[in-house]
Chain A
């Protein structure tokens, strides 16, 4: 009797275990499309065998819980790669906005609006035209109008770059709020995980924590450090502590020299964040490296042209026989004091075309030798050791090449993210075919156990009836 009872107990245990395993499958299927859900598999454990008269008899099975199919190393790799890809794609968007300001001139139409390269050429060409008839008022007007176009286009491009920089400033500050709420959430989850499952995988809680980490990786560059009792500390890529187990430190922003800087516990970590990765890294790289680089090229261009042209115009004699003096200079452009900022400030200050000094100092007003010298400035190395047009040509090539470089980087990083994502999905996401197979197996197993139970029940009945009547059917 005792053995039949224990066989019944083993069978009911099997039925219970199968039931629980079916629950796990049902839960997996239900969460097949839940973001961040990790597939769970039932844990089976053999019950301790019973020793009867030196013979070991099996005592059935228990379903002890579930294991999430998770690879922490893989997930951390994915997060890291995501930080890089997200930084380069944010930077790429910013660079794309920048290069849109300098669309190549197709040259199909004569009037080329907004192209600084054409403006530079037109401006110096206007002096070449003036050579042919230095006293001609129309040609003098032409010099001033092409100077205005040039100054307008350069200062327009510079002010567009400045507003793009301001927009990036805004977007970067916007990221901070999201980062702070994610780090507090992670700190809270750390506490829960440490108290509920210090020794093993925390399942759904762990899913949430991983989900938050992956979101955080979109935003900034982080390092993850696993601590005791399944806790987690997070630092920025350069080592500043964002989350220490149950505590998070908030990022704050503050204006420094007209731009938004980022602080962690009073330390300015803007430069670290810029090189760190994530959207914030991308925004800050574009704001602090790419845009200032482009602006500095334009500044050099504006500074070189303005100072050289002004100096040369002051060296000659204008149509009224006047030569510029330091007190009363004959400046065509507003004279910049320094290269920085001169692109945004570039403008034409001369209003009277007679003041263009086509003649050399002391010569008659019909002389054109100073106009020849001014036209020749186009081929002199007046912009940081380059001719103006070469300087602009290099500038557009460099900007285009930077974009291409970041694009290539981004393509490689995105491919790597996709690959890691595929690997991670292969391990962790719910495969409905697998679940169907598992369900079929469990169903069979459940049916078998219930068959055994029915049989045992009959055997038990015949044992109770002591062979008078058997109820076995």
Chain B
């Protein structure tokens, strides 16, 4: 069998191949990215989409948690103030002389106003103890009857923030639950009763003592509700740090996947260059006219 006389064409084809590979490797070196097109690593490209998705989700949660922290802190501090006001109000027990009655009445009435204003606390224009009806102040007091009645216009809606892992964190406690916590636990019920007790001038001490006791119960109940908010804050801090850790790990994985491995690529590039030089030498050798038999023929 004869040899294909157009071997140079074939060699030039190989030369094209090495040049294309050099180009690809140089592109990877200069961009620092190992997967510059889907076909280079189809599975890796798909995986990259999923990794980036998780990283972005974590990033978004970190931002949300910063927003939410402010709201939770405001709620916590408002409830803290309520607790201290109520502590003050329920301190008015023991024996009272007649001249104290009026001033105690005024004081408790002041505390009632203060607590109502705390219950109507807003954060960035939204009433945080209104459940889902955050657009309007949830508590108002009607003095048409005695004792006066404080009513709740919010709802019992609880907002939750969902973590990337599906866990949910409670963001608010509806005001109705905290301040009108049903019968014996009602803050406003106890306060309004006390105001009525001390406003008449003559104090039914037995009634007043009973109402003060009711206020203490309500106080304990508010403290318990405050624990829910505190728990949420703790959960949020824990979740944030877990998410940050996860994000770091995911970013490492994503970088490993996408980043060009410089030593390997440099080695491959140098190999391709050597191959190219060798091919060029071979072509030069074969092309040299001295190898043609016609040159050996004497004229």
Residues of A within 8 A of B (CB): 95-96, 99-100, 102-108, 112, 115, 117-118, 120-122, 125-126, 128-129, 131-136, 359, 363-369, 372, 375-376, 389-390, 392-394, 396-401, 403-404, 407, 418, 421-423, 425-427, 429-437, 439-440
Contacts and interface: CB of A to CB of B under 8 A. Distances in A.
- Name, among A105, A432, A436, the residue most crowded by chain B CB atoms within 10 Å (CB to CB): A105
B60 A129 contact: yes
Interface in B145-168: 154-155, 157, 159-162, 168
Interface of B: 1-6, 10, 13, 31-33, 35-53, 55-57, 60-61, 63-65, 67-68, 71, 124-127, 130-135, 154-155, 157, 159-162, 168, 171, 251, 254-255, 258, 292-294, 296-297
Contacts of A375: 162
Contacts of B6: 425, 429
A453 B133 CA distance: 126
Contacts of B64: 128-129, 131-132
Nearest to B34: A106
A318 B121 CA distance: 23
Given A129-B64, A418-B13, A426-B4, 4 more contacts: A104-B33, A364-B155, A367-B132, A432-B294
Nearest to B67: A132
A376 B4 contact: no
Contacts of B33: 104, 106, 108
A132 B68 contact: yes
Contacts of A365: 132-135
Contacts of A393: 46-47, 49-50
Contact of B162 (A128, A134, A431, A439): A128
B239 to A, nearest CB: 13
Given A120-B53, A400-B42, A103 B134 contact: no
Contacts of B35: 104
A26 to B, nearest CB: 12
7 contacts: A99-B38, A393-B47, A396-B45, A396-B46, A397-B38, A431-B2, A437-B293
Contacts of B13: 418
A136 B154 CA distance: 19
Nearest to A396: B45
Contacts of B130: 364, 366
B39 A392 contact: no
8 closest A-B pairs by beta carbon, nearest first, are A366-B134, A400-B42, A364-B132, A400-B38, A364-B133, A397-B46, A367-B132, A403-B39
Contacts of B133: 364-366
B162 A376 contact: yes
A100 B45 CA distance: 13
Contacts of B52: 105, 107, 112, 115, 117-118, 121
B4 A432 contact: no
Given A129-B60, A133-B124, A431-B5, A107 B39 contact: no
Nearest to A100: B37
B38 A403 contact: yes
A427 B6 CA distance: 12
Nearest to B64: A132
Nearest to A125: B60
A433 B7 CA distance: 14
A390 B53 CA distance: 10
A261 to B, nearest CB: 30
Contacts of A429: 4-6
B246 to A, nearest CB: 15
Contact of B126 (A104, A366, A398, A427): A366
Nearest to B250: A107
A432 B45 contact: no
